[in-house]
């Protein structure tokens, strides 16, 4: 393949054609991998449910202690499958560019604050959320539902992967013409060579752990698509065993001091 990088001589035309084919093949391979992944992801909860239902049928149903536990497992698996299918449908809509973002101008700081309020009510009790938000209004055009979903996905990961007694820090500031948002936790962290992969569909550092926590492996892939549709960037920094920070940026329109609101 070294010839592809050669810039001189008439062979250049051929290089372009070869490149096209490889790209198409790569897309095809990605599509095949995706189908395999989806099948595996659905098979796991289904086989789990089958064995629990079989056990119930074979007598566990009569055991007042075991029966509710087994039904609970079946219910959890069903709920995860529903989440998975909803996430898949959403990604497929985005792939087909079938969706229209409903942009409205909002004060991002206020919106972020509201989302955090909601998590404050529902989070595990021994986790603290610290807010470091500027005392200004930063107006930006976003699709509020989609942006709320991005924040939900990132914050719920921070909570999921936080240790008991951990602190989550939510920050927001401006840098040049962009707002930068960060959400940090003190959790398990992500090994360096996996950092960019966490935004890929179905990629998880620890599959079993993610499933146990109810994850679908699609949350950050959806967040990435949505941030890109908003003309922003998203990335992660992490120290294995010490914590993770997810950053994203968005272009903003204007800032106002809170007093002028
Ligand atoms: P999941 O449903 O598995 O959480 P995501 O797409 O949201 O899927 O995240 C992909 C993977 O990235 C997770 O399975 C986990 O391995 C890793 N990850 C995401 N956020 C964090 C975090 N805050 N701390 C540690 N690992 C994380």
CB 219 less than 6 A from any atom of ligand 1:
yes
CA angle 146–130–149, rounded 5-degree value:
10
pLDDT band (50, 70, 90) for residue 214: confident
By C-alpha distance, which of 250, 226, 235, 228 is closest to 146? 226
By C-alpha distance, which of 76, 178, 40 is closest to 68? 76
- Which tokens in the block code for residue 188? 């398990």
Say if residue 82's pLDDT is above 80: yes
CB 188 less than 6 A from any atom of ligand 1:
yes
Q: Whose CA is nearest to atom 21 of ligand 1?
A: 157
Helix (H, G, I), strand (E, B) or coil at 107: strand
- Which tokens in the block code for residue 41? 């992801």
How confident is the model over 139-147, as a mean pLDDT? 96
Please say whether the beta carbons of 98 and 229 come within 8 A: no
pTM over 0.90: no
Distance from C-alpha of 204 to C-alpha of 211, rounded to nearest angstrom: 10
CB 232 less than 6 A from any atom of ligand 1:
no
- pLDDT computed for residue 183 by the predictor: 98
If you count them, how many residues does the chain have?
261
The better pLDDT of the pair 1, 61 is held by 61
pLDDT band (50, 70, 90) for residue 261: very low
CB 243 less than 6 A from any atom of ligand 1:
no
- Reported ipTM: the value is 0.98
- pLDDT computed for residue 107 by the predictor: 97
């Amino acid at each position: 393949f070294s010839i592809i990088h050669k810039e001189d001589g008439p062979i250049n035309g051929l290089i372009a054609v070869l490149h096209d084919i490889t790209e198409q093949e790569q897309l095809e391979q990605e599509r095949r991998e995706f189908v395999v992944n989806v099948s595996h992801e659905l098979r796991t909860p289904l086989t789990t449910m089958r064995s629990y239902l079989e056990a119930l049928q074979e007598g566990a149903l009569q055991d007042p202690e075991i029966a509710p536990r087994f039904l609970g497992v079946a219910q959890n698996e069903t709920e995860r499958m529903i989440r998975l299918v909803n996430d898949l449908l959403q990604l497929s809509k985005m792939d087909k560019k079938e969706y229209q973002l409903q942009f409205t101008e909002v004060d991002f700081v206020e919106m972020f604050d509201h989302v955090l309020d909601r998590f404050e009510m529902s989070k595990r009790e021994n986790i603290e959320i610290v807010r470091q938000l500027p005392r200004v209004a930063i107006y930006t055009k976003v699709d509020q539902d989609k942006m709320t979903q991005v924040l939900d996905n990132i914050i719920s990961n921070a909570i999921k992967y936080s240790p008991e007694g951990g602190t989550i820090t939510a920050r927001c500031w401006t840098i040049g013409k962009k707002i930068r948002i960060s959400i940090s936790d003190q959790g398990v962290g992500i090994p360096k060579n996996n950092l960019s992969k966490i935004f890929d569909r179905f990629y998880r550092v620890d599959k079993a752990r993610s499933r146990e926590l109810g994850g679908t492996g699609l949350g950050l892939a959806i967040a990435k698509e949505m941030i890109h549709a908003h003309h922003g960037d998203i990335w992660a920094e992490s120290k294995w065993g010490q914590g993770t920070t997810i950053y994203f940026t968005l272009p903003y329109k204007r800032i106002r001091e809170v007093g002028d609101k």
